[in-house]
Structure 1
Amino acid sequence: MLQMDLIRENALTAVEELEEGLRQPLTPLQREELLTRLSTYRRIAAISALLAEGDVPVFRHDLRLSATARRELLLSSPESAAPSRFRCASRVEPLFDALAAGEIGLVRDIAQYSPHRWVVDEEFEDDFRYADFLREHLLAGAKTPSPGEERALAAFQKCSGDSGSPRIAVCEAISNRDQDAFDAALEDLLVERAAEFRNAGPPLHPQRFHTERHVFIEGLALLRLAEDRGLSTQPEYRMMPGLARR
């Protein structure tokens, strides 16, 4: 896929420029911005490698580096400081990268150091509640819901109300180990995801658009969470190729 080769080449060029920028004197906010962008371009590079060459080791390597950039960002800011727009909990994409890559140590580090507070001016509450549920679920590391996971799920449910959000349904199914509910919620999430790309206007970030429309990293991460809780998954899903899970 020539287009994917070009996208990967451009993404890696951006990675080099960002890494050079990170070696310069920066304010804390500037550093957080560059690390956030670095994570994004590592994800683009990962997906384009999978689509262009079916290169699973490189795919996982770049996802790991995306998650590593997020961990560096979280560790570079004191926990007592008010989270910036780059540090707020709802920036969960690198957490999904770590899960999809099978990097459990990185997963736990990101969950542990992610902010526990909703940053009202920087993130939607439902996005924060989703991230908070994931954090509590991962830190518990148990086959049954922990009190923290139950609290976070209840807060997510209260925030979502009757929205019919597939994400809240997926979280409920994973927490309750409900196979039928998980299968239905995941299908709804895939339908929603496809519609988002189908109905999107001109993309603000074309490289991200043309990679993430084909490979759903969040979905791959949710499959891993479901399997860890004892639920069954299928070998193949649209936008979640079995190749990426080997």
Structure 2
Amino acid sequence: MGLKKLELLIHSMESRLRDNLGRLSEDGPVPDLTLETCRLYRRIGCGVLLASHDTGTCRERLSESARMFLMFLRAHEPLSEVDDKTRYYLARGRGEFLLDALCAGDVALTREIDEALPAAWMPDSENEEDFLYLKLLPALTPGVGPESPPAEDTQRLARLLAELDTPRLKALDALLRNHERDFEDALEAVTSEWREGIESERDSGTVDPFHDRTEANVFLEGTALVRVARLRKIKTAEQYPFIPAALLRPPRSASSRRGAR
């Protein structure tokens, strides 16, 4: 896609975002509409990054995606009082927008989302791997939770690894052990799996252009994994396929930006 077409796509997403925000202000945090709005923030951020290499705006949109999701979680507390459909969307394994906070480099926001997500697995709403992945990843981020994850979660990881042995679980295990080589191998496998999923969607002809032209070209999950690895002082490469190196650099503080003028 050329630059002009990408800019038009971003404009279209921004228009839809405004419409969604207007509807949300009237209807409240409706699950489908709220999560679509989170995805629009994310995809606009990826689109801006691809179109203009504007890392600052990309981080802002990712943070807005994560904050919108946090608002959704808090609006439906306590969990016991929500209907089945809303409960489905509140399951931890569906809390992918926690990754947006990590990609934005906002550890405090990651902590808030982690605390607001359900701590218990919902077998009727999520698979166990997704639940554990989004429970352990923030727990492995220094400064987010205790110094080490609860033993029950690490034991659960060991059991699932023996049963499933998936790239995502291998990545968690490598992060837990601070093992550089195993993390690199797992990240490569996670990236390959992600690309295969995108190509499969394209081959099937069921492509969402908002996703295909933006988020499908920026590996946000990989970005989050590398950020956690670096926070844990694991040595990583300078560059990875589909992971913007600029997005992994620490955000410049307001004072440093003023000093650069």
Shared fold (TM-score greater than 0.5)? yes
Give the match for residue 18 of structure 2: 16
- Structure 1, residues 39-72: CA drift from partner, whole Å, max 9, x if none? 1000010000000111111101100100110110
1:142 CA displacement? 6.9
Query: Please, what is the CA RMSD of the aligned residues?
Result: 2.1
Q: Which amino acid aligns with 1:43?
A: R
Q: 1:142 to 1:117 in 2, by over 3 A?
A: closer
1:110 is aligned, of 110, 113, 121, to: 113
Give the match for residue 191 of structure 2: 190
Q: 1:4 to 1:143 in 2, by over 3 A?
A: farther
Contact 2:107 2:144 in 1 (8 A): no
1:143 CA displacement? 9.2
Contact 2:111 2:144 in 1 (8 A): no
Residue correspondence of structure 1 range 62-101 to structure 2 within 5 A: 62-81=61-80, 84-101=87-104
Q: 1:156 to 1:11 in 2, by over 3 A?
A: farther
Using the alignment, how far apart are the partners of 1:140 and 1:241 within structure 2?
Answer: 24
Give the match for residue 245 of structure 1: 248
Give the match for residue 153 of structure 2: 152
Give the match for residue 39 of structure 1: 38
Contact 2:141 2:231 in 1 (8 A): no
Contact 1:213 1:239 in 2 (8 A): no
- Structure 1, residues 114-173: CA drift from partner, whole Å, max 9, x if none? 111222222222111211222433486479533x1x422321332353433110110001
Q: 1:139 to 1:111 in 2, by over 3 A?
A: farther
TM-score (structure 1 length as normaliser): 0.90
1:204 CA displacement? 4.8
TM-score (structure 2 length as normaliser): 0.85
1:80 CA displacement? 4.1
State which drifts further: 77-86 or 2-11.
77-86
Give the match for residue 178 of structure 2: 177
Using the alignment, how far apart are the partners of 2:131 and 2:180 within structure 1?
Answer: 25
Using the alignment, how far apart are the partners of 2:154 and 2:5 within structure 1?
Answer: 41
Residue correspondence of structure 1 range 225-236 to structure 2 within 5 A: 225-236=228-239
Contact 1:108 1:138 in 2 (8 A): no
Residue correspondence of structure 1 range 153-168 to structure 2 within 5 A: 153-168=154-169
Aligned length: 241
Q: 1:48 to 1:204 in 2, by over 3 A?
A: same
Contact 1:144 1:175 in 2 (8 A): no
Using the alignment, how far apart are the partners of 1:64 and 1:15 within structure 2?
Answer: 15
Q: Which amino acid aligns with 2:15?
A: T
- Structure 1, residues 61-90: CA drift from partner, whole Å, max 9, x if none? 100100110110111111342661221111
Using the alignment, how far apart are the partners of 1:103 and 1:24 within structure 2?
Answer: 29
Q: Secondary structure at the match of 2:89?
A: coil
